[in-house]
Structure 1
Amino acid sequence: MTLSRRQLLQSGALAALAPALGSVSGLAPIDAALAQAAPGEPTWQHALSLFGEIKYPADFTRYAYVNPDAPKGGMARQISIGTFDNFNVVVAGVKGSIAPAVQYLYETLSTESLDEISTEYGLLAEASQHPGDFSWVTYRLRKEAKWHDGRPVTPEDVIFSMEVLKKYSPRYAGYYRHVGKVEKVGDRDIKFSFDAPGNRELPLIVGQLMVLPKHWWEGSDSEGRKRDVSQTTLEKPLGSGPYRIKEFTPGRSVTMERVKDYWGAKLPVRIGQHNLDELRFEFFRDNTVALEAFKADQADWIAENSAKQWATQYDFPAVAEKRVVKEEFPVRNSGRMQGFVLNLRRDTFKDARVRRAFNYAFDFEEMNKQLFYGQYKRINSYFEGTKLASSGLPEGAELALLETLRDKVPAEVFTTPYANPVGGNPEAVRSNLREASKLLKEAGFEVRERKLVDPAGKPVSVEILVRDPASERLALFYKPSLERLGVTVAIRTVDDAQYQNRIRAFDYDMITDLWAQSLSPGNEQRDYWGSQSADQPGSNNTVGIKNPAIDALIEKIIYAVDRPSLVAATKALDRVLLWNFYVVPQFTYGFIRYARWDRFSHAEPLPEFGVSGLPTLWWYDADKAARLGKRS
């Protein structure tokens, strides 16, 4: 299951804040009539969980981790890196650069809780039902769900959304590939039929569908021009969510305003959330400039991705005076792989021995010391930071699964625990480079006049494509090591728009990429590593992997019948990905770093799988703000 847009946010202490569970005034839970089903038919459910128990009953009033009495009001100024020229989510990742603020415009059929793994509760939909073989699911829309123009959200909107997202977005096309038919089966009911039974994740991920207003997209703008859902737009879109676009300056800023008559404000899944009246997104070209704006109180908080800046650039007076708070939030809701991508569409990287040699050339330990003040650790798994990461040698169910693919995976999968080379001192570096040279020679490469040439005698040159100073710094550190192997290395820095266009077209030798992983992987793995996505422009398969063993393991994950089967298949996939050396793993840090001007508060503690909860779970604290004084 992908990390929902959520993403990226219990304790008995919160129970003291909570009233007894019961119905929210004016919003009845699933009643007896709704819950009834014909004998043998699936029953309507207020929530779906992939494998485990559902924590909150049908009549729950709110999540345990929110403050139901959080005050509404105030503004938060946030930093976004890059630029934007598009508000159309349908073509995000395909055309233009999307403004992140649009995530607050639209609602989904269901929404996750942040203190459970893979559990979704009704949002636009009040309930869902599916059979035991997971061959279809039906969602029932809430009567009160409406767009910001007052019109109801309809089954026609849901059908339209699925159709256009699958048609114009490669990522959605892959994610919902097994949704074969979508039809209206009642006044408020939509049935999604799947192309095969057994995929237990599909009912949940269908609930993650972002629903768009069909009538708006099929209408005309203020100048009478027909809208086109397949093109970018900077017209303010119509939404159904807690915020709407108030104003914007293309490429520079977007201000969202809270919808005062938001239809879902009293839903249990929305109580105590979206408390800020305005969310202002300011765009900066790079993090260095953004940090200076933050120091000048031109933004209320900043997410710091640079270990160097975190260690050296937060010594200004406001920090010492406690007017600015530095805080690190543990990441428990996801894992990740981040690394230098070796594009398999290039002949240079088709041989795994070459790819492995590039890993031997990467001296992470020295980079960590010089650039990151020793704060990071090397990534050793595609599911780093989770219990899904492989380690040691395969055993039990994982081994049994891999045995069925023994002739299709590297032999080391069964004999050798995966580990990255270790550098950090001259002797280790020389040893690693010798091993890299040996691998290159075995692959038919050789050095002539200090230049590495391939088996055809062609000099080996690679371009590392980057778009920001942080990525450029990594590439510049890596470059001399590759050059010691005889590789000619060029580093090409381009603007955000050009970078996105080249990524969509897979026009690069090497880039840095990151794949976020949920605690319950599923259909998104096809988009990350599946053969079908390798040739889909805009997909997340930036490596270009076409490997039947990996395809088979992805299917095992998707069709896992229980949590142990899912874990075994995921670890097996991890192991096979690692031993194919598709990327040069970089580094990770188990926390998100934030600095903020002390104008905001949140309920304690934050949810286990919610990271910081900014800005959804926070509120503007007028007393704290008064002590800080007027914003600059």
Structure 2
Amino acid sequence: MSSSGTPKLGLSRRMVLKLSGVAAMCSGLVPGLAPGPALAGGTGPLHGLSVFGELKHAKDFSGFSYANAGAPKGGALKFRPPSWNYNQNPQTFNTLNTLILKGDAPPRMEMCFDSLMVRAYDEPDAVYGLVAETVEVSEDGNYYTFNLRNEARFHDGSKLTAEDVAFSMLLLKEKAHPFIRQILAELRDAVVLNETRVVLVFTGKQTRQAPLLAVVLPILSKRYYTAYDFQQTTLTAPLSSGPYKVSDHAVGRYIEYARVKDYWAKDLPVMAGHNNFDTIRLDFFREYQVAFEAFKKGAVTFHEEFSSKIWATDYDFPALSDGKVLRKEFPDDRPAGAQGWFFNSRREKFRDPRVRQAISLAFDFEWANKSLFFDMYERTQSFFQNSDMAAKGSPSAPELSLLEPHRADLPEEVFGEVKLQPVTDGSGFDRKLLAKALDLLTEAGFERFGSKLVDASGAPLTIEFLNNSPGFERIVLPYIKNLERLGISASFRLVDPTQYQARLNDFDFDVCSRRFALSATLGDDIKQLWGSEAAAVPGSNNLAGIADPVVDELIAKILAAETREDMTIAARALDRVLRAGHYWVPQWTKSVHTVALWDIFGYPDKQASYDVFPVESTWWSDAEKAKKLGMAG
């Protein structure tokens, strides 16, 4: 068997020797996996891995630059998380199983689990050992041998072993959420060599980043998940090994994570200055205004504000005037990613890009920014906004070399000056753009029949904007009025959080609003966003249903890039193709986190450059400040 004992996968004695002696074979790393300072002139074992370039931190490093190793422990953080993964839902929860598609799990369940390695958020793509003290990589890049720390433990005191690692990888590959299965698609096997030594075997078709994504996946207890069905939703907290564990909770209302004070890894360099709060509490609110009122009263102590209207007009309550609450802006240096209304191109009415482009032209961003957003935003243009991967101007020669072989299958605009979203006259209904939109719709076969726009069969063109936030209604309704001027029957549909996620999982929508953040080094997750295979997989992030062989080939070029420069060039080419496809109505972006917080916190002088604002992991409770305000912290 592959996940326990002596390897028996029909392997020959020669293969077993090859697996157990990977270190001796590591005369070179996977192409593009830099050895880092600790390996100058050596072959292994490695304390970290990086897709491009050398590691920033040497083997004897004491901690990451964005964490304060001397941060005090204690107190509480009460917040609404600005990001979430897998099946997590920020508005409600009905399961504690966050690793499958089924159900709605609370955000931050991942804090309960350890992984082989952890991300360094002061580098674009590096990982360093957590459960794995070191890793050895075969010369062909297909065998990753991990040497585990003897002290690794689950919360019940049982030892975390190679058996658990191998079991976890194979279970996740077969039965986990589609995002996880995508990461592990090219994992061929996981082989236990002894209690503290395990090999992940890849097919040879894996992307350069795939192993680095695999090593940050959660490690599960084999004993626990042999007794309990992994694929079932459950409100029983799973046995895990991470820095936090589930504590008090009420379904759909709140959950508290308690810091594990005897956490086995608390003194490791990768954990220095991390996991400082004794309690991290998440409250769930269906209504945004209710959540804001809870913050004003101190029931929530940290609040990232995403409403420009509220940020501009509603921060006038007593606690702010008295200096108990602070408003701050923290720079956001990450790629902004893609935020917009995504068309479901699986539906016949949205298959023609001219229809999608016409609908996009009816959105007056300049009016919305002035009238609704208090001029806080700039228009999103690119799928790689705020990064070097965003296409600009005309294609460079290296970009053209990737695009020219597909000229017959691409619109001519891909090969010219990249198209920016049109700047409207700010009136709310720019007549010139609406006229252009009507021309495009006419070219696509629609015509006016009375007040309605109908297709060749006489069916009216209708659009339903699906959303789970009432705050979007004031933005969508003016947009709908412009669409009605074109003869399009449009509506805003507000549904509860569970139904919203279920409909997105099943691609049961016309248009939905979403933001996707991307990392500085693109990995397999972009297949989930734009790949043809993901377009047919329920629960994938390919909401637009993009199924284009050219897009697939450019994704493959990105993932096979030998250098960061090659990756960037391929990403720019892909950006041109995606933008020319008009799969979305780009929305808006800003380059700062707008944050309000009760003045009871401390935080590092330097923020992580490549993370989604890790408040829960690197901030801490300031006991003196909390005492001054009469708050427990």
Amino acid at match of 1:568: I
Per the alignment, in what secondary structure is the counterpart of residue 554 of structure 2? helix
- Of 169, 190, 211, the residue aligned with 1:162 is 169
Instruction: Identify the residue that residue 49 of structure 2 maps to in structure 1.
Output: 48
Shift of 1:570: 0.7
Moved more, 410-419 or 536-545: 410-419
Shift of 1:36: 6.6
Q: Given that residues 462 and 487 in structure 1 are in contact (C-alpha distance below 8 angstroms), is that contact kept between their aligned partners in structure 2?
A: yes
Distance 1:162 1:593, change over 3 A: same
Q: Given that residues 136 and 203 in structure 1 are in contact (C-alpha distance below 8 angstroms), is that contact kept between their aligned partners in structure 2?
A: no
* Pairing 1:207–2:194 present: no
Distance 1:54 1:39, change over 3 A: closer
Residues 407-464 of structure 1: per-residue CA shift (max 9 Å, x gap) = 2222111123221122143497100001100111111111111101113221111211
| Mapping for residues 5-84 of structure 1, pairs under 5 Å | 37=24, 40=27, 43-79=44-80, 81-84=90-93
Instruction: Identify the residue that residue 131 of structure 1 maps to in structure 2.
Output: 138
| Mapping for residues 221-370 of structure 1, pairs under 5 Å | 227-370=228-371
RCO higher in structure (CA 8 A, sep ≥6): 1
Residues 569-607 of structure 1: per-residue CA shift (max 9 Å, x gap) = 111111100000001101111111111110111221223
| RMSD (Å), alpha carbons | 1.9
Shift of 1:269: 0.2
Residues 356-394 of structure 1: per-residue CA shift (max 9 Å, x gap) = 101111111111111111111111100111111111111
In 2, the alpha carbon distance for the partners of 1:121 and 1:341 equals 36
* Pairing 1:191–2:199 present: yes
Q: Given that residues 78 and 301 in structure 1 are in contact (C-alpha distance below 8 angstroms), is that contact kept between their aligned partners in structure 2?
A: yes
Amino acid at match of 2:401: A
Shift of 1:198: 6.9
Amino acid at match of 1:46: H
Shift of 1:610: 4.2
Moved more, 239-248 or 467-476: 467-476
Identical positions, percent: 39
Moved more, 559-568 or 598-607: 598-607
Amino acid at match of 2:92: T
Per the alignment, in what secondary structure is the counterpart of residue 269 of structure 1? helix
Q: Given that residues 366 and 423 in structure 2 are in contact (C-alpha distance below 8 angstroms), is that contact kept between their aligned partners in structure 1?
A: yes
Moved more, 227-236 or 400-409: 400-409
Amino acid at match of 1:551: D
Shift of 1:125: 1.0
Instruction: Identify the residue that residue 96 of structure 2 maps to in structure 1.
Output: 87
Amino acid at match of 1:144: E
Instruction: Identify the residue that residue 179 of structure 1 maps to in structure 2.
Output: 187
Shift of 1:37: 3.2
* Pairing 1:145–2:152 present: yes
* Pairing 1:97–2:112 present: no
Distance 1:99 1:428, change over 3 A: closer
Amino acid at match of 2:528: D
Shift of 1:217: 1.8
Q: Given that residues 343 and 584 in structure 2 are in contact (C-alpha distance below 8 angstroms), is that contact kept between their aligned partners in structure 1?
A: yes
Distance 1:506 1:549, change over 3 A: same
Amino acid at match of 1:160: F
Distance 1:188 1:495, change over 3 A: same
TM-score of the two chains, using structure 1 as the length reference:
0.90
Shift of 1:629: 1.9
Instruction: Identify the residue that residue 603 of structure 2 maps to in structure 1.
Output: 602
Moved more, 243-252 or 70-79: 70-79
Residues 154-191 of structure 1: per-residue CA shift (max 9 Å, x gap) = 22222232233233322212222222222223432222
Q: Given that residues 186 and 205 in structure 2 are in contact (C-alpha distance below 8 angstroms), is that contact kept between their aligned partners in structure 1?
A: no
Shift of 1:114: 1.8
Shift of 1:611: 5.5
Distance 1:39 1:311, change over 3 A: closer
TM-score of the two chains, using structure 2 as the length reference:
0.90
Per the alignment, in what secondary structure is the counterpart of residue 385 of structure 2? coil
Q: Given that residues 335 and 518 in structure 1 are in contact (C-alpha distance below 8 angstroms), is that contact kept between their aligned partners in structure 2?
A: no
Per the alignment, in what secondary structure is the counterpart of residue 99 of structure 2? helix
Per the alignment, in what secondary structure is the counterpart of residue 404 of structure 1? helix
Q: Given that residues 527 and 540 in structure 1 are in contact (C-alpha distance below 8 angstroms), is that contact kept between their aligned partners in structure 2?
A: yes
Shift of 1:38: 5.4
Shift of 1:96: 1.3
Distance 1:425 1:602, change over 3 A: closer
Instruction: Identify the residue that residue 123 of structure 2 maps to in structure 1.
Output: 116
Instruction: Identify the residue that residue 540 of structure 1 maps to in structure 2.
Output: 541
Instruction: Identify the residue that residue 497 of structure 2 maps to in structure 1.
Output: 496
Amino acid at match of 2:212: L
Per the alignment, in what secondary structure is the counterpart of residue 480 of structure 1? helix
Amino acid at match of 2:567: L
Moved more, 150-159 or 295-304: 150-159
In 2, the alpha carbon distance for the partners of 1:113 and 1:40 equals 25
Instruction: Identify the residue that residue 4 of structure 2 maps to in structure 1.
Output: none
Q: Given that residues 380 and 420 in structure 1 are in contact (C-alpha distance below 8 angstroms), is that contact kept between their aligned partners in structure 2?
A: yes
Per the alignment, in what secondary structure is the counterpart of residue 327 of structure 1? strand
Moved more, 297-306 or 424-433: 424-433
* Pairing 1:425–2:434 present: no
In 1, the alpha carbon distance for the partners of 2:628 and 2:245 equals 30
Per the alignment, in what secondary structure is the counterpart of residue 517 of structure 2? strand
Per the alignment, in what secondary structure is the counterpart of residue 341 of structure 2? strand
Amino acid at match of 2:342: V
Q: Given that residues 116 and 132 in structure 2 are in contact (C-alpha distance below 8 angstroms), is that contact kept between their aligned partners in structure 1?
A: yes
Shift of 1:631: 5.9
* Structure 1 gap ranges (5+): 1-33, 220-226
Amino acid at match of 1:101: R
| Mapping for residues 571-610 of structure 1, pairs under 5 Å | 571-610=572-611
Moved more, 239-248 or 608-617: 608-617
* Pairing 1:462–2:478 present: no
Shift of 1:61: 1.7
Amino acid at match of 2:201: S
Per the alignment, in what secondary structure is the counterpart of residue 507 of structure 1? coil
Q: Given that residues 145 and 264 in structure 1 are in contact (C-alpha distance below 8 angstroms), is that contact kept between their aligned partners in structure 2?
A: yes
Distance 1:361 1:135, change over 3 A: same
Shift of 1:132: 4.1
In 1, the alpha carbon distance for the partners of 2:256 and 2:450 equals 58
Q: Given that residues 367 and 427 in structure 2 are in contact (C-alpha distance below 8 angstroms), is that contact kept between their aligned partners in structure 1?
A: no
Instruction: Identify the residue that residue 624 of structure 1 maps to in structure 2.
Output: 625
In 1, the alpha carbon distance for the partners of 2:331 and 2:164 equals 38
Shift of 1:297: 1.1
Q: Given that residues 342 and 544 in structure 2 are in contact (C-alpha distance below 8 angstroms), is that contact kept between their aligned partners in structure 1?
A: yes
Instruction: Identify the residue that residue 113 of structure 2 maps to in structure 1.
Output: 106
In 2, the alpha carbon distance for the partners of 1:612 and 1:174 equals 26
In 2, the alpha carbon distance for the partners of 1:270 and 1:494 equals 40
Q: Given that residues 329 and 611 in structure 1 are in contact (C-alpha distance below 8 angstroms), is that contact kept between their aligned partners in structure 2?
A: no
In 2, the alpha carbon distance for the partners of 1:569 and 1:291 equals 42
Per the alignment, in what secondary structure is the counterpart of residue 139 of structure 1? strand
Distance 1:568 1:414, change over 3 A: same
Q: Given that residues 367 and 428 in structure 2 are in contact (C-alpha distance below 8 angstroms), is that contact kept between their aligned partners in structure 1?
A: no
Amino acid at match of 1:37: A
Q: Given that residues 463 and 511 in structure 2 are in contact (C-alpha distance below 8 angstroms), is that contact kept between their aligned partners in structure 1?
A: yes
Shift of 1:35: 11
Count matched residues.
590
Shift of 1:101: 3.3
In 2, the alpha carbon distance for the partners of 1:55 and 1:279 equals 30
